[in-house]
Structure 1
Amino acid sequence: MTALQRLFDGGLPQLVMFDLDGTLVDSVPDLAAAVDQMLMLRGRPPAGIERVRNWVGNGALVLVRRALAGSIEHAAVDEAEAQAALADFMHAYSGDHSATSVYPGVPALLNWLRARDIPLAVVTNKPERFVAPLLEEKGLGAFDWIIGGDTLPLKKPDPAGLLHVMASAGATAERSLFVGDSRNDVLAAQAAGVRVVAVSYGYNHGRPVAMENPDLLVDSLDALI
């Protein structure tokens, strides 16, 4: 019996939903390049990959605000400045994504789930316009539903995206799974009443994701199968 089946009392889920950045792909190198380009347009020094790694996970606007603040705390950043910087960031990020890589174990799990006709979704705080092209570019195939950070009025940690997909799929909370890498992912899954698997390698603002109490923690997604 696989680890995935043990989560569902020997059966299989009706639906598996995934976070994207930090779960399926390591996108920080390209995100950091776009952040640094936005900062340099403003005569500011680059933030660099390691700082950006601790800032991602709450959507593009929050990432930009953190970059302008130079800190995870960004309340003092002017909103008009943040919106102008966001436009520059989005333009920069619309370019090349060659530095983004798929994590080991991801293709094996996706292929295993698709071979069993289990519906798949991505629920991410990344702007929706970037999600499907990135999945295609990285060879991760088609997902049945894609929810971006701007698809619905609310994004993670609110469970709205998960609940929307579950309703569309006709899947119950008891037979649904969310896979993510951060506190926002665990909170969204718990609020939706679904089981949650966390990956140890992702982005969680420098805090071990095990501290968020997921149902299962794995070092690679192929550990589920």
Structure 2
Amino acid sequence: MQNKQLLIFDFDGTLIDSVPDLAASINIMLEQLGLPTYSLDTIKGWVGNGSRLLVERALIGKTEVGENELTQLEADHAEQLFLDAYSNLKASKTVAYPDVDKGLKQLHDAGFTLALVTNKPIRFVPKILRSFGWQDWFVVVLGGDSLPTKKPDPAPLLHVCDKLGVMPDKAVMIGDSKNDILAGQNAGMDTLALSYGYNYGQDIRDFQPTQAFDNFATLTRYLLDKKEP
């Protein structure tokens, strides 16, 4: 973990808890379709692979979506209802996790380069970053639809490295789900995991990240301790 230059962060479940807003939007979609709604805890277990899979999971009421369970037209229509609901929420309940604001500032001020790679549609990301005052800390920001593939594919992480001229072994992927850890491992970089986010009920340590942490403050201290003078 020495000589790292670039920290690539996931967003939902790592830096922010967006489940209340996502759940509200999913339930608005379901109500519009005349379907049963779900609890926040149930919907939390479906978050992490982007809007399309979240919508499909909600439509069938389970995490694993089998072939031919939904037509593309059904999924397209439902996803648009969800995206409209998410765009039109009057009062956001999305919050930063404890110590994230302070930790990001410390890492930025210590000279790390920060990037953001999320599976959330990119159209929603800048507004949320601005709401927390983080928009100037991330030199590259990618959403789930910014490239043809998204995490756990390593392509978004390698794209960031290429754009910034940083070798993957000088970068770190930081996230809360197996998609983050697998993407980082597939990209040939160290991975740091946070246990408090959205990982479908699985222990993030099962995916063998380089290190795992239960809170952001501990992760921040670890990175600052490893920083070369």
TM-score interval, smaller chain: over 0.9
Taking only the aligned residue pairs, the percentage that are identical comes to: 44
Counterpart Cα distance in 1 of 2:111 and 2:214:
25
Aligned residues of 2:173 and 2:191 also touching (Cα < 8 A): yes
Q: Kindly provide the amino acid, as one letter, of the partner of residue 16 in structure 2.
A: V
Counterpart Cα distance in 2 of 1:177 and 1:41:
42
Could you list the structure 1 runs, at least 4 aligned residues long, displaced by more than 3 angstroms after superposition: none
Match of 1:149 among 134, 144, 153: 144
* 1:199 lines up with 2:197 in the alignment: no
RMSD: 1.1
TM superposition shift of 1:60:
0.3
Aligned residues of 2:126 and 2:135 also touching (Cα < 8 A): no
1:89-104 pair list within 5 angstroms: 89-96=82-89, 98-104=92-98
* 1:184 lines up with 2:179 in the alignment: yes
Counterpart Cα distance in 2 of 1:88 and 1:138:
26
Unpaired runs of 5+ in structure 2? 222-229
Counterpart Cα distance in 2 of 1:191 and 1:52:
28
Q: Kindly provide the amino acid, as one letter, of the partner of residue 136 in structure 1.
A: R
TM-score under structure 1 normalisation? 0.93
1:1-225 pair list within 5 angstroms: 7-8=1-2, 11=3, 13-75=4-66, 76-96=69-89, 98-142=92-136, 143-224=138-219, 225=221
Counterpart Cα distance in 1 of 2:59 and 2:81:
12
Deviations 1:78-102 (Å, cap 9, x if unpaired)? 2210100000000000123621110
Q: Secondary structure at the match of 2:45?
A: helix
Q: Which residue of 2 aligns with 1:3?
A: none
Counterpart Cα distance in 2 of 1:45 and 1:99:
22
Deviations 1:125-170 (Å, cap 9, x if unpaired)? 1000111111111233321111100000000000111000001111
Unpaired runs of 5+ in structure 1? 1-6
Deviations 1:28-49 (Å, cap 9, x if unpaired)? 0000000000000011121121
Counterpart Cα distance in 2 of 1:78 and 1:40:
19
Q: Secondary structure at the match of 2:197?
A: coil
